[in-house]
Amino acid sequence: MPAQKPENRVLDAEESFPRERMAALQLERLRKMIDYAKARTPFYEKALAGVSGGDLKSLDDIRRLPVTTKADLRDAYPLGFMAIPRHEIARIHGSSGTTGKMTFVPYSKNDLRNWTRLVARFLCAGGLGPGQLVQISFGYGLFTGGFGLHYGVEEMGSAVVPAASGNTERQLAIIRDLRPDGLVCTPSYALALGEAIRAHGVKPGDLSLKLGFFGGEPWTDEIRRRIEEDTGLFATDNYGLSEVIGPGASGECVERRGMHFSEDHFLVECLDPDTLSPVDEGGRGELVITTLTKEGMPVIRYRTRDIASLNRAPCPCGRTGVRMSRVTGRSDDMLVIRGVNVYPTQIEEALLRVREAAPHYLIEVTRPFAMDEVKVKVEVAPEMFSASMSDMVKLQERLAAAISSVTGIRMTVELVAPHTLERFQGKAKRVSDLRAAPAGKQAARPQ
Ligand code: DLL
């Protein structure tokens, strides 16, 4: 049953501001933000020495300011970027990141109000109206997903089932018995839930689910198609990161041609990660985000490490907010294989072109002789699992060819039995990096 496209509705006037009006608002807020951050945080007092907000004559002048990195935040651990007195903190979230120390993010009362509204904006954009019931299967905790979505759903006048993440059988019982209209989780968990729904023999037409709001990690259109096939819902993507707010930085409308940024709260640039100069209009680059209204922890030109492109063309939905493409990867996830840059999402895209492969895979990276070597473990789809050796060899060959056509590189493909790879309840971990394994675990370099 094809997912039904919801009606297009817009929550706030700012979402459809003419671009010039938005640019004027951004410049006014940016100037204030520079002075605010300088006056209240030692980091920006130093980094922005000699600059004041009034010096910026246009938004392009932001390029004269230095960038802020995750390492800068870590150096200021735990709350060195906080710009409000301790008694004004309304909440603290955090992100563990893939490596290293946690980052804590303090919010003021106003920040929480803005955040709630920003989440409601993308929920509305993706089809949620008042009076609906939404199951939130994100973790509730330091991670911004659970609480962020929770208050956004309530802001929309809808109700929440705070299912939190994990316990797939219980999630399915809630879906079956409470009949929610919407589902919120990571795309990889939606995939796992869809798979479990299918395994229970439930047809999408028997489910109540109509809308899915998925985010927190990269995914592809092919994964979206599979989730929709298994569940019958209409799935939209939304993006954000704790350092700038959490979910709610951008989200898809029902056209699903990119995620609209809320530009009244964020100024977004797309830069070449090596030179930090702007990429050509529509080109891929690293998103660099400046918060325009954040009080608790403002960031100026924060390097997200997320690679995507920006599109300023008008959208049929009427929103004018710049649209970002899907994130194709994080610049720190990039693998260099025999000199070629490859992102895990490219490998995913290739695998999912082959119907007999299940959308469950693990990329194992080793560095036996100074170059990255990649082995891709792929589950065979249960209905395709065959005892015939020659069919399996052919499938393996087709997968290797698909990967090679997308990435330009031959990789070793290993087929594994259905349901043998790990399923994820939060963000998926699809790359197993064994390059830093202790000496002796990997082959010695030949002389
Ligand atoms: O993941 C915030 C969030 C929660 C967004 C729920 C959407 C839904 P962090 O844990 O700080 O915050 O991780 C942020 O996750 O820099 C991206 O690399 C990745 N990410 C988030 N959303 C998407 C998305 C939350 N829609 C990091 N597509 C970001 C691709 C995403 N990557």
Cα gap 397→402, rounded to integer Å: 9
Cα gap 378→258, rounded to integer Å: 29
Other CB atoms within 10 A of residue 254 CB:
18
- In this prediction, residue 433 has a pLDDT band, given cuts at 50, 70 and 90, of confident
Cα gap 427→98, rounded to integer Å: 11
Identify the DSSP state of 295.
S
Residue 316 shares a structural domain with residue 371: no
pLDDT of residue 99: 58
- pLDDT at residue 128 tops 90: yes
Cα gap 14→293, rounded to integer Å: 14
For ligand 1, is residue 304 a contact (CB within 6 Å)? yes
pLDDT in tens, 168-198: 999 999 999 999 999 999 999 999 999 999 9
pLDDT of residue 442: 41
**Taking the mean position of all CA atoms in its chain, how far away is CA 435?**
25
Last residue of a domain, one of 330, 355, 384: 330
Q: Which atom of ligand 1 is nearest to the CA of 96?
A: 10
What's the distance, Cα to Cα, between the start and end of the chain in Å?
59
pLDDT in tens, 238-287: 999 999 999 999 999 999 999 999 999 999 999 999 999 999 999 999 99
Identify the DSSP state of 315.
-
Residue 40 shares a structural domain with residue 158: yes
Task: Report CA-CA distances (Å) from 388 to 190, 356, 416.
Answer: 32, 14, 14
- pLDDT at residue 357 tops 60: yes
Q: Whose CA is nearest to atom 29 of ligand 1?
A: 241
pLDDT in tens, 153-170: 999 999 999 999 999 999
Q: Enter the tokens of residue 214.
A: 């998925």
Say which CATH number the domain at 368 has.
3.30.300.30
For ligand 1, is residue 95 a contact (CB within 6 Å)? yes
Last residue of a domain, one of 305, 330, 355: 330
**Taking the mean position of all CA atoms in its chain, how far away is CA 444?**
38
CA of 394 to the centre of ligand 1 (A): 37
CA of 246 to the centre of ligand 1 (A): 7
Q: Tell the residue number behind the tokens 């710009």, with chain if given.
A: 83
pLDDT in tens, 64-88: 999 999 999 999 999 999 999 999 9
Which residues span the domain enclosing 307? 1-330
Residue 159 shares a structural domain with residue 280: yes
Q: What is the pTM of this model?
A: 0.92
For ligand 1, is residue 252 a contact (CB within 6 Å)? no
Last residue of a domain, one of 275, 307, 330: 330
Instruction: Domain count for the chain, please give it.
Output: 2
Q: Looking at 64-158, which runs of residues are DSSP E strands? A: 91-95, 103-107, 133-136
Mean confidence (pLDDT) of the chain: 93
- Closest by CA to 3, choosing from 221, 150, 312, is 221
Q: Whose CA is nearest to atom 18 of ligand 1?
A: 306
